[in-house]
Structure 1
Amino acid sequence: MTPTEIPTIELMNCPVHVLTMEQTIAEIERNIKQGRQIHHVVVNAAKLVNMQTNKDLYDSVVNCDIINADGQSVVWASRWLKKPLPERVAGADLMVNLMDLAGQKGYKAYFFGAKEEVVQKVVDIYTQKFGEQVIAGYRNGYYTVAEEDTIAQDIAESGADFLFVAITSPKKEIFLNKYKDIIKTPFIMGVGGTFDVVSGKTKRAPLWMQRNGLEWLYRVYQEPGRMWKRYAVTNTKFIGLLFREKFLKK
């Protein structure tokens, strides 16, 4: 199966693939073995809202080969609209699962993003767990536009099978869409704040909160000054878009 053949629904003008975590990993590995590059992205409520007004972000997402639902709210929305997604495929969980796969099968990963001490900690953790053979390279996420081409070339020359980019949205989506033909790494994805979680700098919400769509509330609890307004605005807009799609879209 090629990415274009994966069952897909449309949600708020965005295609989302109907895949479980297990199916997503199988698709990624199948395409790597076939020598086909896979550009992966996840969407949550905030990203779907921002895509409505940010064309660069919209184009960067819809041009991806696999688009998973990261937020539980997206899964619930799909079911309410009677085009159900099977489950949430969180980007953080996918990266962890793919690193387990790297440890089992000898794939190499390149880690790009976060502060120097954070990305270094992530590399140290995976080196201790699986050995140096799973590390193709790493770089922090602080750079100028003038450095982007050099960074892309460095990643391309690293021999990585996986590229994980831990930079804020929409910067990471736009970077990957712009440079993927230079990078040529078989699997590329943005992972947001996952390096912070893996390194222990921040904690993910308890499982019961993740399963009940409350991970955003836990993030507000951790960073109230930065997160409360973001979620108050995007969650409200998401509900409005959802009602419009349910009752007004022809």
Structure 2
Amino acid sequence: MRKRVTIMNSPVDVLTMRETIDIIDDSIRERKSIQHIVVNAAKLVNMQEDEELYQSVVDSDIINADGMAVVWAASLLGKPLPERVAGVDLMQELVILASEKKYRIFFFGGREEVVSEVVRKYTTVFGKEIIAGYRNGYFKKNQEANIAAQIAESKADILFVAISSPTKEIFLNTYKDRLKVPFIMGVGGSFDVVAGKVKRAPVWMQKTGLEWFYRFLQEPGRMWKRYLVTNSLFIYYVLRERFSVNSNQ
């Protein structure tokens, strides 16, 4: 039985990157459908008020800690996690796995020029055999069922969904049984990184929990409110949980 901890009422799996990949590989090989999700500070905060997002997360089969803030919060709360399993890093590892194991991937989300560039880059490096199909992330609510059918018809082994929260979590939770894909995963802005539209923070910033700040520097006008509000609320919720535990002991 896999160990889980609870942070801000959300379950988080106690898993390393390697352990996560092994579980995913087994699920694909056995054709057993599982849904993966990552949580960071912003998502945990938004889950406090968004019931549909909350349910979409807790219904997932694997829940990894995407941000260092979540790892640090877990430690502060006495529920240590072995490491951060960033969504963009896991996606890259799974593309390599797909190349090695002859798995096929469907890429869904982002602007047309972004997702097509992701497919072009991966095709150049790993060959067209890993590509089951792709589609941009712009659609209306009444198109969702047709998109799910398109993905199912591709017979993909892996589905990456690069759509913002909570839309991607809700889409995956709603249609996961119709997709007929062994492994489905929301990857946020990972397509932008792979396509070269957004630069990844230096490794030292990733390890010290400053990746959010590097992201802010690239798009301050769009990101300042998100990080100011969500980071402040995240600290508040974690401290409240920490002192609540102490008062109950």
Fraction of identical pairs, as percent: 61
- Counterpart AA for 1:128: T
Matched, 1:207 2:203: yes
Matched, 1:185 2:181: yes
Counterpart-to-counterpart distance in 1, 2:233 and 2:114: 33
2:80 to 74, 80, 84: 84
Counterpart-to-counterpart distance in 1, 2:212 and 2:144: 31
Q: Normalized against structure 2, the TM-score is what?
A: 0.98
Equivalent position SS for 2:155? coil
Q: Normalized against structure 1, the TM-score is what?
A: 0.97
- Aligned-pair distance for 1:239? 0.5
1:161: which partner in 2? 157
- Aligned-pair distance for 1:34? 1.9
Question: 1:181-237 deviations in whole A, cap 9, x for unaligned?
Answer: 110200001000000000111101111110000111011100000101110000000
- Unaligned stretches of 5+ residues in structure 2: none
2:27: which partner in 1? 31
1:231 to 227, 237, 249: 227
Count of residue pairs brought into register by the alignment: 246
2:213: which partner in 1? 217
Counterpart-to-counterpart distance in 2, 1:78 and 1:217: 21
Counterpart-to-counterpart distance in 2, 1:39 and 1:187: 6
- Unaligned stretches of 5+ residues in structure 1: none
- Counterpart AA for 2:129: Q
Counterpart-to-counterpart distance in 1, 2:101 and 2:32: 18
- Counterpart AA for 2:66: D
- Counterpart AA for 2:134: Y
CA RMSD of aligned residues (A): 0.7
Counterpart-to-counterpart distance in 2, 1:84 and 1:248: 18
Pairing 1:1-250 to 2, within 5 Å after superposition: 5-249=1-245, 250=248
Counterpart-to-counterpart distance in 1, 2:30 and 2:80: 30
- Aligned-pair distance for 1:6? 1.1
- Aligned-pair distance for 1:30? 1.1
- Aligned-pair distance for 1:105? 1.0
